[in-house]
Amino acid sequence: MMVERERVIMHVRCPREVTEDAYHEVVEFLGSLTPVVQALPPAAVLADLTGALRYWRATPLQLARRVRLTTLARYAVDTRVGIGPSPAVAAMASGSPDRDGIRIVTGADAAQAIAPLPVSELYGVGPAQAKTLTAYGLHTVGALAQVPTGTVQRLLGGRLGRQAADRARGIDPRHELDRNGRARTALLDTVVTVASRLRQRRQVAGALSVHVEWVGNAAAITRTRTLAEPTAHTEELRVAAYQLWDGLGLQRARIAALSVRAERLTDGAAAAHQMTLDGARERLWRAEAAIDRANRRFGANTVRPARLAHRPMQEAADPGQDGGRLGATEDATAQRHEEP
C-alpha cells in the first residue's frame, strides 16, 4: 500500500513596501527551486516543495535559509518564510516567524502550533470576521478550534465558517496549490511557440502582451510589457510573460483562453544587444540554438521544456505565415481550458 507523503508548502512573505520589480524577482527565484509556485500579489508567494526536497537533496530548513539569504543578498528583500503541510498553516507560520525569520510547522504539530495565534491571523479571516469572532469571546485560533463547525458557520456564514473552523484545527483540504496551474503551463507552451516562430523569421520582439478571457464572461483583459531589449529568446519572453500573468492576480479566476502576442517586431540582425559577461546566459542561448536545430531536423516540439512533456504537441509554425513581413504581429493562442 502506497503511503502519501506529507506536503511541504512554503509561504514567503515580503515587506509591505517591496517594489513590484523586486517582488517579481523573488517569484522568479522561487520558480528556480520548484515549478509549483503561486504568486499572491502584492507581497507574498506560495511554493510547493514536496518534490523539490528530493531534487535538491535538502531539508525544508535548508531551502528556507537559502530563500532568506538569496532574497536579501540578491534583491535586498528581507523575507519571512513559513513552512507547513498546507498553504494556510504555512502562511500563518510566516506571519509569526522565529528570530531567524523562519518557522517550520509539521502536520502533527499544526493545530498546537497555531492555537496561540490571535484569531485575526487565521488564514482567510479578514478584519470584519475577526471582529465578529472576538465579539463572541473567540480571541485565539485555539479557542475557535474548540467551537463546533455548525456554530462557526452561523457566525461567519456557511462556506467561510467551515473554512475557518477547519483551518483553526490545522486542516486545509486544498489539493492543488494553484487552481490555474494548467493555464500557467499553457502560457509557457504559447511562449515557446511564439519564440520559436520569431527565431525562424529572424525577428525580435520589443514588447510582449498577455490576453486572458474568462469562462462564461464576455470580458477579457490584456496587459503589455516593454522588454529591456528586443529579443526572441524563450527564457526572456517566458520571464516577461510570467511577470505579466502574476501581476494579474488571477488565483481563483476560471480561464477560458489566453494568448501571448509578440509586438514591435524588427529584423533580428539589425537589433542592438547589450553585451553580457553572464556565462550561464550565454550557455542558455547556445542550448537554445541546439534545440532549434534538433526541432528542425526531427520535427517541431521534439525538444521542449519538461513541464510541457505531457501536453499535446502544437503544429509546427510556418515561417512564411502573415507573409513574413517585418512588423507583422506574432500571435499564438493556448488551448481552451475550463474547470469542471
Say if residue 68 is in the same domain as residue 24: yes
**158 belongs to a structural domain:** yes
The confidence score (pLDDT) of residue 244 equals 87
| Domain end point (choices 65, 87, 114) | 114
**276 belongs to a structural domain:** yes
**258 belongs to a structural domain:** yes
Say if residue 4 is in the same domain as residue 67: yes
Say if residue 201 is in the same domain as residue 157: no
CATH of the domain at 107: 3.30.70.270
**104 belongs to a structural domain:** yes
**339 belongs to a structural domain:** no
* CA–CA–CA angle 5, 10, 11 (5° rounding): 145
Number of folded domains that form the chain = 3
From residue 33, give the alpha-carbon distance in Å to each of 57, 64, 101, 110, 297. Answer: 12, 11, 19, 25, 32
**121 belongs to a structural domain:** no
The pTM score is 0.56
Give the distance from CA 102 to its chain's centroid: 21
How do residues 153-191 score in pLDDT, each as one tens digit? 888 888 788 888 888 887 776 645 554 566 777 888 889
How do residues 219-271 score in pLDDT, each as one tens digit? 788 889 999 889 999 988 988 888 888 777 665 566 777 888 999 898 877 76
Say if residue 71 is in the same domain as residue 149: no
CATH of the domain at 165: 1.10.150
| Domain end point (choices 72, 89, 114) | 114
Say if residue 137 is in the same domain as residue 104: no
Say if residue 189 is in the same domain as residue 287: yes
Say if residue 200 is in the same domain as residue 228: yes
**119 belongs to a structural domain:** no
Domain housing 199: 181-333
Say if residue 327 is in the same domain as residue 252: yes
**71 belongs to a structural domain:** yes
Say if residue 138 is in the same domain as residue 210: no
Say if residue 226 is in the same domain as residue 327: yes
| Domain end point (choices 114, 148, 167) | 114
Q: What is the pLDDT along the chain (340 residues), one digit of tens a residue?
A: 334 567 899 999 999 999 988 998 998 899 889 888 888 878 999 999 988 898 899 999 999 999 999 999 999 999 999 999 888 889 989 988 999 999 999 877 888 888 888 998 888 888 888 999 999 999 998 999 899 989 998 888 887 888 888 888 877 766 455 545 667 778 888 898 899 889 989 899 999 998 888 766 657 888 899 998 899 999 889 888 888 887 776 655 667 778 889 998 988 777 666 666 666 677 878 888 898 888 888 887 788 876 676 555 554 444 333 333 333 344 433 333 333 3
CATH of the domain at 197: 3.30.1490.100
Say if residue 321 is in the same domain as residue 207: yes
Say if residue 151 is in the same domain as residue 265: no
In DSSP terms, 333 is beta-bridged to: 259
